[in-house]
Structure 1
Amino acid sequence: MNLTLEQIQDFKGKYPKQIWSLFFSEMWERFCFYGMRGMLVFFMISQLKFDDEQANLQYGATQAFVYAFTFVGGLFADKILGFRKSLFWGGLLMIVGSLILATNPHDYFFLGISFTVVGTGFFKPNISTMVGKLYKSGDSRTDAGFSLFYAGINLGALLGGYLCIAIGKGEMLSGLIPEHKRWNVAFGLAAIVMVISLVNFIFTQRQLGPIGLQPQRLNADGTFSALAKWNEYSVYILSLIFVPLIMIMVSVPQYTDYFMWTVGPLTLIYLFYEMTKVTSSERNKLWAALVFIIFSIVFWGIYEQSGGSLSIFAANNLNKDLLGLDPNGVNNSGGAFFIIFLAPIVGLLWIWLSKRKLEPNTLIKFGLGFIFLGLGYYVLFATKFFATLQGITSLNIFTIALLVITFGELCLSPIGLSIMTKLSTEKLQGMMMGMWFLASAYGQYVAGQIGAGMAKVKTGANNYDALITYTDGYKQLGLYALIAGVVLILISPLVKKLMQEVR
């Protein structure tokens, strides 16, 4: 079906029909990603016999490279592959990585993870871009489309985050799967759903018209021609070369340290150089964007304990007083569950406040995000008051903390990409989006460092002492989040001036 872009964008009703197919492709990819993410720390400790500190450092390194590589994947998609081929290539790499882990997760753990990191970098940034292309510029239905798409992301995270870890631990299907094959099946499940995602996308392509096709070369006479095939093949070869490099960087956390301490400063220096070439008004907006980027590192550094220290806490210090559910499964999928139900309600709340001219501006929402995050970590601290002498506490209270933290995510996360596009100059949009993803990478890296710091204190302690160490650490993180939120709200008048007409 050779649809034109105008035919696709001239749809009737609330949603274009193509969005449902993209919804399911993204849902199954997120199942794979969050399923893998939720298993990392627990698998490293229980199967690879890493200590808690090392597992947290490895987790932070892995997640940092996932987010850093989205910048590389997006760049290759823009310049050479196009969104469709980039997405498909990334999906294939994720399948290969999952199959390696399903075959022999103990011996080839870092190899499988490295394929997944590179694959996610090609897949993650591009399907969202195709959703945006389904709408004309200024179409008021765009936000509703992205809200639906966001629900798909979280539905995948909910299913994958719970099922994979529960199967690996033997909490589900233990009567059907031999004990020595549980982790193989758990990683294999991630591969199966990724195959479903790609098969679904193959059929979706027929309805996408020109959206996501490979870019063409502009000739001197003004016509366009296809890029030379060697460009495309070079990307495939280069991305395969990245795999062993990522494997070395991830398996030795010190190399990740060198990478993070080098890339960040160099990126800032380049940004400052570019800022000398823009107008004073544009420069002020870029300074405002930098404020959002810096605070987002702090937010994700605290928030992303879910895959690191909270995974260890859930395994060792939580009971099953919430419907008999597995604590690690709840830790991995609870946030996604709450987002599915709360995102529409929070969206309606902003609309209701806007009609009464009471809706907080972007900076205040960012500040509220930190405050809810801090309050959630104080609830995590409060789990110590429900603990037994064996260091086991209530999963119910832990889940309430996830609920409060989710309110914080909803105040901050949906705004970030939007505000970057509004504050960037036309020529620096790609770079600023890259910096936003790089900030996420730094947040993941910081999360690993924080988790490792808490684990280091815990060495040699019994389970009750470990619980006290972790909950006291969460209290500190809660305090830092509250301070960051208050600071952001206090400086909001200054940053609003820098933002000018952007709201």
Structure 2
Amino acid sequence: MVTLEQIQDFKGKYPKQIWSLFFSEMWERFCFYGMRGMLVFFMIHQLNLAETEANLQYGATQAFVYAFTFVGGLFADKILGFRKSLFWGGLLMIVGSLILAADPHKFFFLGIAFTVVGTGFFKPNISTMVGKLYKKGDSRTDAGFSLFYAGINLGALLGGYLCIAIGKGEMFADAIPEALRWNVAFGLAAIVMVISLINFVFTQRSLGPIGLQPQMIKVDGTYQPIEKWKEYGVYALTLVFVPLIMTMVAKTEYTDYFMWTIGPLTLIYLFYEMSKVNSADRKKLFAALVFIIFSILFWGIYEQSGGSLSIFAAKNLNKDLLGLDPNGVNNSAGAFFIIFLAPVLGLLWIWLSKKRIEPNTIIKFGLGFIFLGLGYYVLFGTRLFADLQGVTSLNIFTIALLVITLGELCLSPIGLSIMTKLSTEKLQGMMMGLWFLASAYGQYVAGIIGANMATAKEGSTNYDALIAYTDGYKQLGLYAVIAGVLLILISPLVKKLMQEVK
């Protein structure tokens, strides 16, 4: 078996193992973003939910997806190891997608619950394995995560456009009977998830010791495998979570109780773990916490794409961009831009690092917020191109998505990378899970923001709806710019906490 040293001692810009993880993640993200893009539209047009309710349920679903990454990361650290955790999560996602493909109207929340729990086990652990391909302090780590991020978004581009376009009948309408369009759209998510797992099974040999099950150290210093009952106990407990998640997503007031409880409990547990490490490591974990807290605000604003922007795309956008479906563009344009921009930005960081002028991570975070804010100001500007029916330009909307994507690229792949750099060896899975838990809070906040925008315009005209939504986007733009400036101002303090970590 190849050793960790041999893997990390690679020549060139990227380790060869990154491609195996790249393709597994790409197909998993096809499944995830395909599902995500369909949720709000399906709930409003097929399940006949009100826009406010659909936004809240979307926020709840996405919040649980990311909250479960914390649980998945924890179980991977302590019991399953990253590989078994990833495989188990993938199986659950396939089951969820197949349930939705069988009858999306009848089994919607059951299928969603399986997918939520499955993603929790898959998502944080594949990102952690990417981090382990690099030695500590390797300046190529950010570039590796940027490439991996391009893989995420190739899947998001394909799934984000194809699934909703098939479901709506914008694509293959002649080939697929109207009554089966949504079944086929959800079934497509299951097929690509099977491809993801097959790819991982056949390429995992090249990963050497990375992601194997942790072993217990006995008193005499020898190692012994984790007892099988603990592993099977995790699988059984997972299945108990499914009906629980199903109930909480269907009744969003339960989600409120969950979100108000899980965050404080997680912080208490983190502080308990921090009390056991030395002072230098504790400072790094505090720095990680600053990134995590700010990321909640970032995702709360950014994640309107699956909620309020999905409704805005369906009602207020024309097809002046190559005749494309506005919902498909909303779901996939960000991913399209990332595929081209991520490798370029990754190489830019390497070039700036060689010149010793690369901005530190906290400044990159601040820039991410400023781009995000500017993108929302462009969304506000779409009202200048609207007709009296409240329909405006998909072209201008797409430019806004381009600017927002620049913001995402300054923050998200760098965030994944910095969690692996600031974590201690024993807390890597947990810290990656905590990063995704912050995303859960961001998604939860996004649902509430979207619901508030929808409430402002019920019973009004389509033009009034446009004005209400764009006013909301202007407000969000302002909050993002303020947060970005604040981050840049406190960057010297955070840099001190990070010590030697760049």
Q: TM-score range by the shorter chain?
A: over 0.9
Q: Secondary structure at the match of 2:373?
A: helix
The reply on whether 1:233 has 2:232 as its aligned counterpart is yes
Q: CA deviation at 1:77?
A: 1.6
The reply on whether 1:329 has 2:328 as its aligned counterpart is yes
Distance in 1 between residues matched to 2:14 and 2:485, nearest whole Å:
39
The reply on whether 1:153 has 2:152 as its aligned counterpart is yes
* Amino acid of the structure 2 residue aligned with 1:34: Y
Q: CA deviation at 1:228?
A: 2.5
Distance in 2 between residues matched to 1:429 and 1:232, nearest whole Å:
20
The reply on whether 1:34 has 2:18 as its aligned counterpart is no
Distance in 1 between residues matched to 2:309 and 2:406, nearest whole Å:
18
Deviates more, 1:145-154 or 1:240-249: 145-154
Q: What residue number does 1:360 align with?
A: 359
- CA displacement 1:457-479 (0-9 Å, x = unmatched): 11111111111111111011111
- CA displacement 1:3-62 (0-9 Å, x = unmatched): 444554555555444332322211111100010011111100010001110011001111
Q: What residue number does 1:104 align with?
A: 103
Q: CA deviation at 1:275?
A: 5.4
The reply on whether 1:393 has 2:419 as its aligned counterpart is no
Q: What residue number does 1:63 align with?
A: 62
Distance in 2 between residues matched to 1:36 and 1:429, nearest whole Å:
28
Q: Secondary structure at the match of 1:491?
A: helix
Q: What residue number does 2:165 align with?
A: 166
Q: CA deviation at 1:259?
A: 0.8
Q: What residue number does 1:22 align with?
A: 21
* Amino acid of the structure 1 residue aligned with 2:116: V
Q: CA deviation at 1:357?
A: 4.6
Distance in 1 between residues matched to 2:280 and 2:142, nearest whole Å:
28
Q: CA deviation at 1:81?
A: 1.7
The reply on whether 1:383 has 2:376 as its aligned counterpart is no
Q: What residue number does 1:189 align with?
A: 188
Q: What residue number does 1:265 align with?
A: 264
Distance in 2 between residues matched to 1:455 and 1:330, nearest whole Å:
21
Q: Give the direction of change, closer, same or farther, for the CA distance of 1:197–1:104 in structure 2 (3 Å limit).
A: same
Unaligned ranges ≥5, structure 1: none
Unaligned ranges ≥5, structure 2: none
Q: Give the direction of change, closer, same or farther, for the CA distance of 1:370–1:5 in structure 2 (3 Å limit).
A: closer
The reply on whether 1:201 has 2:200 as its aligned counterpart is yes
Q: Secondary structure at the match of 1:458?
A: coil
Q: What residue number does 1:483 align with?
A: 482
Q: CA deviation at 1:165?
A: 0.5
Q: Give the direction of change, closer, same or farther, for the CA distance of 1:130–1:423 in structure 2 (3 Å limit).
A: closer
Contact 2:51 2:451 in 1 (8 A): yes
* Amino acid of the structure 1 residue aligned with 2:396: I
1:246-325 to structure 2, matched below 5 A, reads 246-272=245-271, 283-325=282-324
Q: CA deviation at 1:152?
A: 1.1
Q: What residue number does 1:217 align with?
A: 216
Q: What residue number does 2:442 align with?
A: 443
Q: Give the direction of change, closer, same or farther, for the CA distance of 1:497–1:396 in structure 2 (3 Å limit).
A: same
Q: Give the direction of change, closer, same or farther, for the CA distance of 1:285–1:226 in structure 2 (3 Å limit).
A: closer
Distance in 1 between residues matched to 2:155 and 2:101, nearest whole Å:
20
Q: Give the direction of change, closer, same or farther, for the CA distance of 1:468–1:28 in structure 2 (3 Å limit).
A: same
Identity %: 85
Distance in 1 between residues matched to 2:269 and 2:172, nearest whole Å:
52
Distance in 2 between residues matched to 1:329 and 1:163, nearest whole Å:
7
1:409-420 to structure 2, matched below 5 A, reads 409-420=408-419
After the TM superposition, list the runs of 4 or more consecutive aligned residues in structure 1 that deviate by more than 6 angstroms: none
- CA displacement 1:341-375 (0-9 Å, x = unmatched): 11222234334444555433222222111111111
Q: CA deviation at 1:89?
A: 1.1
Distance in 2 between residues matched to 1:132 and 1:423, nearest whole Å:
11
Q: CA deviation at 1:439?
A: 1.0
Q: What residue number does 1:131 align with?
A: 130
Contact 2:147 2:342 in 1 (8 A): no
- CA displacement 1:223-262 (0-9 Å, x = unmatched): 3333332222111111011100111111111011001111
**TM-score where L is the length of structure 2:** 0.94
Contact 2:145 2:413 in 1 (8 A): no
Contact 2:150 2:343 in 1 (8 A): no
Distance in 2 between residues matched to 1:286 and 1:206, nearest whole Å:
32
Deviates more, 1:186-195 or 1:142-151: 142-151
Q: Secondary structure at the match of 2:463?
A: helix
Q: CA deviation at 1:501?
A: 4.4
Q: Give the direction of change, closer, same or farther, for the CA distance of 1:4–1:414 in structure 2 (3 Å limit).
A: closer
* Amino acid of the structure 1 residue aligned with 2:151: G
Contact 2:96 2:111 in 1 (8 A): yes
Q: What residue number does 1:243 align with?
A: 242
Contact 2:76 2:82 in 1 (8 A): yes
Q: Give the direction of change, closer, same or farther, for the CA distance of 1:20–1:294 in structure 2 (3 Å limit).
A: closer
Distance in 2 between residues matched to 1:352 and 1:158, nearest whole Å:
28
* Amino acid of the structure 2 residue aligned with 1:204: T
Distance in 2 between residues matched to 1:426 and 1:352, nearest whole Å:
29
Distance in 2 between residues matched to 1:337 and 1:252, nearest whole Å:
34
- Number of residues of Structure 1 aligned to a counterpart in Structure 2: 502
Q: CA deviation at 1:82?
A: 1.9
* Amino acid of the structure 2 residue aligned with 1:32: C
The reply on whether 1:468 has 2:471 as its aligned counterpart is no
**TM-score where L is the length of structure 1:** 0.93
The reply on whether 1:369 has 2:368 as its aligned counterpart is yes
